[in-house]
Amino acid sequence: MPQTVLMMGSDSDWPTLEPVVATLKELGIDCAVRVLSAHRTPEQAREFVQQSEKGGTKVFLCAAGVAAHLAGAVAAHTSRPVIGIPIASGPLNGLDALLSTVQMPPGVPVATVAIGGAVNAAVLAAQIIGTGDAAVAQRVADWRKAQTQKVLEKDRKLQEKLK
């Protein structure tokens, strides 16, 4: 089983979540991806979480919109870190999902990123894994340096245009 698992409540969330898998891949971390619902497939979701944990999964990333119960349901079945990714959907455009994801009861935490925050969720998962894996920690540090260089290069190009 991969070190990370990405679970989404609906396949319609995939376009928002593709950057999770791409970023993890860029950081050298494998990721399993599943569509499982906290409400429509609760038993299958629970079984998958338990099997994943036994198989060595270190971090669960869970995305859902509106009621956004998937991350909390997963957190109820594992002591591994769970990262919630609220999806922009429904009449509140993701605000309801954000609030649902962050308002967990004491003892059942879900780390939560911004609405649609796929890249940050992946980087956070890599940072968590990196606390016990020096190679992953180095790849995250290198990735962040590359991000800095990209911004500086954009600034340089803009300054050239303004001359």
CATH numbers and ranges of domains, the chain = 4-162 (3.40.50.1970)
Residue 125 identity: A
CA-closest candidate to residue 7, choices 57, 45, 51: 45
CB 43 within 8 Å of CB 73: no
Q: Going by C-beta distance under 8 Å and a sequence separation of 6 or more, which residues neighbour residue 91?
A: none
Residues paired with residue 59 on neighbouring β-strands, in sequence order: 4
Q: Which residues does residue 112 pair with via DSSP β-bridges, in sequence order? A: 84
Contact 126, 132 (CB under 8 A): no
Name which of 32, 2, 45, 27 is nearest 124 in CA terms.
27
Are 16 and 88 in contact by the 8 Å Cβ rule? The answer is: yes
Model pTM greater than 0.85?
yes
Over the stretch 64-90, which tens digit does the pLDDT of each residue have? 988 899 999 999 999 999 999 999 998
What integer pLDDT is reported at residue 67 of this predicted model? Answer: 86
- pLDDT tops 90 at residue 11: yes
Torsion of CA 31, 32, 35, 38, to 10 degrees: -80
Q: How far apart are CA 77 and CA 83, in angstroms?
A: 14
Tell me the per-residue pLDDT of 115-128, one tens digit each, with 9 for 90 and over: 999 999 999 999 99
